[in-house]
Amino acid sequence: MEPASAFAMHDALDVRGPGLYAVLGLAIALVTAALRRTVEALRRSRAGSRAVVEGAFDCIITMDHEGRITAFNPAAERTFGYPRAAVIGRRMAEVIIPPPLRERHHRAMAHYLATGEGPILGRRLELTALRADGSEFPIELTINVMRLADETPIFTGYLRDITERKQAEEERVRLLAAEQAARRGAEASERRLAFLAEASAVLASSLQCQATLEQVARLAVPVLADYCVINLVEGTRMRRVATAHADPSKQPLVERLREFPPDPAR
């Protein structure tokens, strides 16, 4: 029988004398039993929540509205190198946030407390955190906020060390860059081989030196360079016999080089 039913029964029966005390005793017993069940359910719920937090692989850190750490689970102890007792009550910014980022953290906290607005709340962020030994490492962070009965905010951060993931990403980028460089090198080698083959064919197809060398110069750009100048050694003299530029509009500039005889000593 529920407590409310017991009191309703008393009103209906108008119990007097000893019977009144019996009904009141029954009502008190029912209320007490209900409270015990509620307390037990709450205890089991808290125990279950504590087990989830304690057994989580991710770091779970709770902070009050003053920025002080109120919860620090075992994963956070392993990741940051602090025992829980050493950080409870300390300001979180002084414990796990690198000095260059602390001012931004303080501004964000002040803004939220003043306006109730938190652009980063509920979002997945990648930041840098600080270990007990002073080393910094990359983390993935999500922050949620809940309010107590008096509207005081409590912030809970869920963090994970993403050092290995970042290293894997950097290695992938390095390998991709190496692959692209190797591909460019192979393509350049193919172009040089193709140039040598074509140049050999040109040299073998004509006995006219001037025309042949001019054609070789045109083949050399842009495979080997942006422009090409061929000088022919004749005894102790050197004569400029062919020029070519990859950009036809700049060919006249290269042609002007013919006006400056090459220096055999250089």
Do 192 and 154 share a domain, yes or no?
no
What b/e string do you get for 202-232 counting C-beta neighbours within 10 Å, with b at 16 or more?
beeeeeeeeebbbbbbebbbebeeebbbebe
Do 131 and 188 share a domain, yes or no?
no
Do 156 and 69 share a domain, yes or no?
yes
Q: 249 lies in which domain range?
A: 168-259
Is 7 contained in some domain? yes
Do 14 and 85 share a domain, yes or no?
no
Dist CA 46 CA 69 (whole Å): 19
Among residues 33, 50, 67, which one ends one of the domains? 50
Ranking 62-76, 138-152, 212-226 by mean pLDDT, the lowest is 212-226
Among residues 139, 161, 183, which one ends one of the domains? 161
Tell which phi-psi region holds residue 238, choosing left (phi > 0), alpha (psi between -120 and 50) or beta: beta
Give the tens place of pLDDT for each residue, 47-72.
444 544 454 579 999 999 999 999 99
Do 16 and 67 share a domain, yes or no?
no
Do 128 and 179 share a domain, yes or no?
no
Is 266 contained in some domain? no
Among residues 161, 187, 205, which one ends one of the domains? 161
Residue 1 confidence (pLDDT): 46
Is 156 contained in some domain? yes
Do 209 and 230 share a domain, yes or no?
yes
Is 264 contained in some domain? no
Predicted TM-score (pTM) of the model is: 0.55
Do 62 and 37 share a domain, yes or no?
no
Domain count, the chain: 3
Do 175 and 247 share a domain, yes or no?
yes
Give the tens place of pLDDT for each residue, 148-205.
878 889 999 999 999 999 999 999 999 999 999 999 989 888 888 887 887 788 777 7
Residue 101 confidence (pLDDT): 94
Higher pLDDT pick, 148 / 35: 148
